[in-house]
C-alpha cells in the first residue's frame, strides 16, 4: 500500500508540474505580463485553482517589483504569496511574508497597507486556534483604520473581530461586531466584505439554533453573490445554507443545496471552497448515512493532498477517524489516525525547519549589520587619522601619542568582538543541543499520552477498564513530567555553561524509572525486559546524563526488537578499579559492521523500527557525548538477525551504598 501511495504521489506531482508548464506557456504565449498589476491578476487567477502557478507568478511579480524599486508592489506580491502559504497550512512561512510586507509599507509610510497586513497576521493566528493573539492584531488594525478614517478597513476589522469571537463560541460579542460592520456596509458599495457579513450572520444563527434567521441571511447573500465576481463567496454561502437545513433536520434539502455548491466550486476550480463543501456534505450525512459521509471525506483528503493543503487534510482525517469510531470500525480509525499523525509530524517538522531558517536569516542579518557598523567605525577612524596628519609638522609627538591611543582602542574592540562571537557560537551550540534533546526525549511520551487519551474516548470501555487506563495515564504523565523536569534542569545547566553536574546517585533507581516509562511500549510488542543491577551501588557523575543514556538505549532496543523478543539491562565490574560496565542487550534485528561503526556519528541516518517507529538519529550521538563528558567510553557489538549490545562505563563507582 505504501508503494502504491508513493507512486500516486509522484504521478500527482508530475501531472501538477506538467500543468504548471502548460499554463505558464499558454499565459505567456498570448499575453506576456509587463507590469506588477499584470502579475497580481495572474496570481489571483491561479492561487485557488493551481497554487503552484500562483506561487510562480508571485515570484515573477516580486522580481519585477524589486527591479523597479516598487516597494508597494513587493508588499502586494508577498501578501498574495503568504495567502497561498496560509491556505496550504504553512503558517510560519505566511507570517514571515506578512512581516516583510509590513516593513515595506513602513518604509513608504502606507498606514492602510500596514493595517491590512496586521489583519493577515491575525488571520494566521486565528486559523491556528490562537484567538487571543488574533484579537490583539484585529484591535490594533481597527485603531489604525479609525485613525485614518478608512471605513472599508474599519468594516473589515469588525468582521475579523466577529470571526475571532465566533471561533470561541462567544456569539453575543460576535453579533455586536457584525452589527457594527453591517451598519458601515450600508454606506458603502457592495463588496465581498458585505457578503462575509451575511455569511457570518448565518454561521452564528445556525450555531445558536435560530435557523430561520440563518437561512434569511444566507439567501440574501446568495442573491447578491450570484455573479462571476463573487463566485467563490457564492459557494461558501450555499454550503452554509445547506448546513443550516441539515441542522434543522432537512437532510434532503441540505444535500441538494450542498451538491449545487460542490458543482459550482469545481466549475470555478476553487479547491478551498470544494474542500469546504465536501466536509459540509460529510457533516450532513454522518448521522444518517456514514458510508456516504466517508466517501465525501475521502474525496476531500485526496484533493487536500493534491493541493498540499496539509491543515485541511489533517482536519478531514480526524473527521474520518471519528466516523469510523462511530461505526465501531476501530482498525480503520486507527489507520486514519496513523496517517493524520504522520501528516501532523511532517507539518510540524516543516514549520520547525522554517522557524530555524528564519532564525538563521535573522542571525545572518545581525552579522551583516555588525559588519557594516564595524566598517563605519573603521572609516571614522581613518578619517580621524587623516585629520590628525594635518598637524604632523606642528606636533609629531602628540600625533604619535594619539595614534598609539587609537591603535590600543581598536585592539580592545577587536578582542571584545572576538569574545562576543565566541560566546554567541557557544550559546548557539547549547541551544541546538537543548532543542535536539527536548525533541528526542519528549516525542515518545507525548505519543503514548495521546494514545491513552484516544482510548478514553471509547464509549465501550467498562468502568474497570477506564479506571485502568486512567491509572496508566497517570503513571505515564508522572514519568513524562519527571523526564521533562530533568531535561529542563539539564538545559539550564547547558545555557549557564556548566556541561557536567556531577553528583552521587543510584543507577538502579534510574534504570527502574525508565523501565516504568517504557513499560507500555514493551508490552505492546510483548518484549520481556530483565535487569541485573545491584540495588546497593552508587555512581559519581552527571545523573541526568546517565538517565538520558539509559532511556535512549532502552528506546532503541525496544524499537529494533521484534514481537516476543527480550532485552537485558545490567552491569559488571569494569577493567579498571572503580569502574562499572553497564550494558543494554537485545535479540533484535541487529546491524552490519559498517553501520555499527557509524552509529555514534552525526552523519548516521536514523532507521525505522520493527513496527515502523520513527527516530531522529540524535540519541546515540548525544549519548556518546555524555559518556565522554563523564570520563567514560561506549562501544557497540551487533550482528544482523542476532541482536545488538551497547556497553558503556560512566563516571566513577563509589562502591556499596
Residue pLDDT, tens place only, 338-384: 887 887 776 555 455 544 544 455 445 445 455 545 556 556 666 76
Query: Is residue 233's pLDDT more than 80?
Result: yes
Segment 57-81 shows an average pLDDT of 93
Query: Is residue 187's pLDDT more than 90?
Result: yes
Query: Is residue 568's pLDDT more than 70?
Result: yes
What percentage of the chain exceeds 90 in pLDDT? 38
Cα–Cα distance measured from residue 611 to residue 189, given in angstroms and rounded to the nearest whole number = 61
Nearest Cα neighbor of 232 from 260, 264, 194 is: 264
Residue 188 · residue 155 · CB < 8 Å: yes
**Which segment of 41-55, 269-283, 431-445 scores lowest on mean pLDDT?**
431-445
Query: For residue 475, what pLDDT is reported?
Result: 60
Q: CA distances (Å), 427 to each of 376, 424, 435, 494, in order? A: 27, 5, 12, 9
Segment 431-446 shows an average pLDDT of 59
Q: Compute the mean pLDDT over every residue in the chain, rounded to the nearest whole number.
A: 80
Query: Is residue 386's pLDDT more than 70?
Result: yes
- Sequence-ordered strand ranges (E) for 353-471: none
Listed in sequence order, the residues at least 6 apart from 287 whose beta carbon sits closer than 8 Å to its beta carbon are none
**Which segment of 67-76, 374-383, 455-464 scores lowest on mean pLDDT?**
374-383
**Which segment of 22-31, 135-144, 195-204, 367-376 scores lowest on mean pLDDT?**
22-31
Segment 34-50 shows an average pLDDT of 87
Nearest Cα neighbor of 226 from 255, 260, 256 is: 260
Query: Is residue 215's pLDDT more than 70?
Result: yes
Q: How would residue 478 be classed by pLDDT, with cut points 50, 70 and 90?
A: low
Q: What is the pLDDT of residues 320-334, one digit of tens each?
A: 888 888 888 888 888
Query: For residue 385, what pLDDT is reported?
Result: 75
Q: How would residue 218 be classed by pLDDT, with cut points 50, 70 and 90?
A: very high
502 φ/ψ angles, rounded to the nearest 5 degrees: -75, 130
Query: Is residue 496's pLDDT more than 60?
Result: no
Query: For residue 139, what pLDDT is reported?
Result: 95
Segment 216-224 shows an average pLDDT of 92
- Report H helices in 286-329: 290-306, 310-327
pTM greater than 0.75: no
Query: Is residue 636's pLDDT more than 70?
Result: yes
Query: Is residue 585's pLDDT more than 80?
Result: yes
Query: For residue 365, what pLDDT is reported?
Result: 45
What's 422's DSSP letter? H
Q: What is the pLDDT of residues 111-139, one digit of tens each?
A: 999 999 999 999 999 988 899 999 999 99
Cα–Cα distance measured from residue 378 to residue 117, given in angstroms and rounded to the nearest whole number = 39
Q: How would residue 459 be classed by pLDDT, with cut points 50, 70 and 90?
A: low
Q: What is the pLDDT of residues 142-178, one digit of tens each?
A: 999 999 999 999 999 999 999 999 999 999 999 999 9
Query: For residue 330, what pLDDT is reported?
Result: 85
**Which segment of 239-248, 298-307, 437-446 scores lowest on mean pLDDT?**
437-446
Cα–Cα distance measured from residue 579 to residue 649, given in angstroms and rounded to the nearest whole number = 7
Cα–Cα distance measured from residue 483 to residue 477, given in angstroms and rounded to the nearest whole number = 10
Amino acid at each position: 500500500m505504501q508503494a502504491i501511495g508513493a507512486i500516486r504521489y509522484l504521478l500527482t506531482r508530475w501531472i501538477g508540474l506538467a500543468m504548471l508548464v502548460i499554463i505558464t506557456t499558454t499565459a505567456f504565449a498570448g499575453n506576456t505580463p509587463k507590469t506588477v498589476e499584470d502579475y497580481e491578476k495572474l496570481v489571483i487567477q491561479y492561487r485557488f485553482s493551481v497554487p503552484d502557478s500562483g506561487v510562480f507568478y508571485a515570484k515573477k511579480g516580486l522580481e519585477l517589483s524589486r527591479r523597479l524599486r516598487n516597494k508597494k508592489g513587493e508588499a502586494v506580491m508577498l501578501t498574495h504569496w503568504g495567502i497561498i502559504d496560509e491556505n496550504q497550512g504553512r503558517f510560519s512561512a505566511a507570517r514571515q511574508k506578512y512581516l516583510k510586507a509590513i516593513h515595506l509599507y513602513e518604509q513608504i509610510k502606507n498606514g492602510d497597507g500596514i493595517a491590512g497586513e496586521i489583519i493577515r497576521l491575525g488571520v494566521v493566528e486565528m486559523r491556528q486556534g490562537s484567538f487571543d493573539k488574533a484579537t490583539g492584531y484585529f484591535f490594533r488594525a481597527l485603531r489604525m483604520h479609525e485613525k485614518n478614517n478608512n471605513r472599508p478597513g474599519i468594516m473589515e476589522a469588525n468582521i475579523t473581530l466577529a470571526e475571532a469571537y465566533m471561533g470561541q463560541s462567544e456569539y453575543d460579542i460576535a453579533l455586536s461586531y457584525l452589527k457594527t460592520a453591517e451598519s458601515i456596509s450600508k454606506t458603502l458599495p457592495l463588496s465581498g466584505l458585505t457578503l462575509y457579513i451575511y455569511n457570518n450572520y448565518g454561521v452564528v444563527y445556525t450555531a445558536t439554533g435560530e435557523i430561520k434567521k440563518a437561512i434569511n441571511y444566507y439567501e440574501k447573500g446568495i442573491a447578491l453573490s450570484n455573479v462571476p465576481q463573487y463566485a467563490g463567496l457564492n459557494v461558501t454561502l450555499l454550503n452554509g445554507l445547506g448546513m443550516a437545513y441539515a441542522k434543522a433536520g432537512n437532510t434532503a434539502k441540505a444535500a441538494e443545496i450542498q451538491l449545487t455548491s460542490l458543482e459550482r466550486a469545481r466549475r470555478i476550480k476553487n479547491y478551498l471552497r470544494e474542500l469546504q463543501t465536501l466536509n459540509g456534505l460529510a457533516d450532513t450525512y454522518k448521522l444518517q448515512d456514514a458510508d456516504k459521509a466517508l466517501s465525501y471525506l475521502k474525496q476531500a483528503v485526496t484533493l487536500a493532498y493534491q493541493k498540499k493543503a496539509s491543515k485541511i487534510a489533517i482536519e478531514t482525517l480526524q473527521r474520518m477517524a471519528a466516523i469510523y469510531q462511530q461505526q465501531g470500525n476501530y482498525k480503520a480509525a486507527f489507520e486514519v489516525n496513523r496517517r493524520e499523525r504522520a501528516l501532523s509530524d511532517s507539518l510540524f517538522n516543516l514549520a520547525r525547519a522554517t522557524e530555524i531558517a528564519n532564525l538563521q536569516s535573522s542571525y545572518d542579518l545581525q552579522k551583516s549589520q555588525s559588519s557594516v557598523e564595524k566598517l563605519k567605525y573603521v572609516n571614522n577612524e581613518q578619517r580621524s587619522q587623516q585629520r590628525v596628519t594635518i598637524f604632523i609638522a606642528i606636533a609629531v609627538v602628540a600625533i604619535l601619542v594619539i595614534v598609539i591611543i587609537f591603535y590600543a582602542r581598536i585592539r580592545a574592540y577587536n578582542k571584545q568582538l572576538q569574545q562576543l562571537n565566541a560566546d554567541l557560537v557557544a550559546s548557539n551550540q547549547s541551544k541546538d543541543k537543548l532543542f535536539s534533546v527536548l525533541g528526542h526525549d519528549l516525542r515518545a511520551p507525548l505519543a503514548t499520552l495521546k494514545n491513552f487519551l484516544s482510548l478514553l474516548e471509547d464509549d465501550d470501555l467498562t468502568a474497570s477498564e477506564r479506571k485502568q487506563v486512567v491509572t496508566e495515564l497517570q503513571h505515564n504523565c508522572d514519568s513524562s513530567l519527571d523526564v521533562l523536569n530533568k531535561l529542563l534542569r539539564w538545559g539550564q545547566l547547558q545555557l549557564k555553561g556548566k556541561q557536567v553536574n556531577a553528583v552521587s546517585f543510584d543507577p538502579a533507581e534510574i534504570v527502574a524509572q525508565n523501565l516504568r516509562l517504557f513499560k507500555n511500549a514493551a508490552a505492546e510488542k510483548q518484549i520481556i525486559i530483565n535487569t541485573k543491577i545491584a540495588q546497593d551501588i552508587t555512581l559519581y557523575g552527571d545523573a541526568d546524563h546517565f538517565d538520558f543514556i539509559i532511556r535512549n538505549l532502552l528506546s532503541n532496543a525496544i524499537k529494533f526488537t521484534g514481537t516476543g523478543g527480550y532485552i537485558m539491562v545490567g552491569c559488571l565490574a569494569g577493567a579498571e578499579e572503580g569502574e562499572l560496565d553497564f550494558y543494554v542487550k537485545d535479540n533484535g534485528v541487529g546491524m552490519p559492521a559498517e553501520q555499527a561503526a557509524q552509529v555514534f556519528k552525526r552523519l548516521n541516518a536514523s532507521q525505522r523500527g520493527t513496527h515502523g517507529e520513527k527516530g531522529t538519529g540524535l540519541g546515540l550521538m548525544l549519548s556518546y557525548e555524555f559518556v565522554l563528558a563523564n570520563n567514560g567510553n561506549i562501544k557497540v557489538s551487533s550482528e544482523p538477525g542476532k541482536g545488538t549490545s551497547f556497553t558503556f562505563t560512566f563516571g566513577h563507582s563509589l562502591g556499596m551504598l
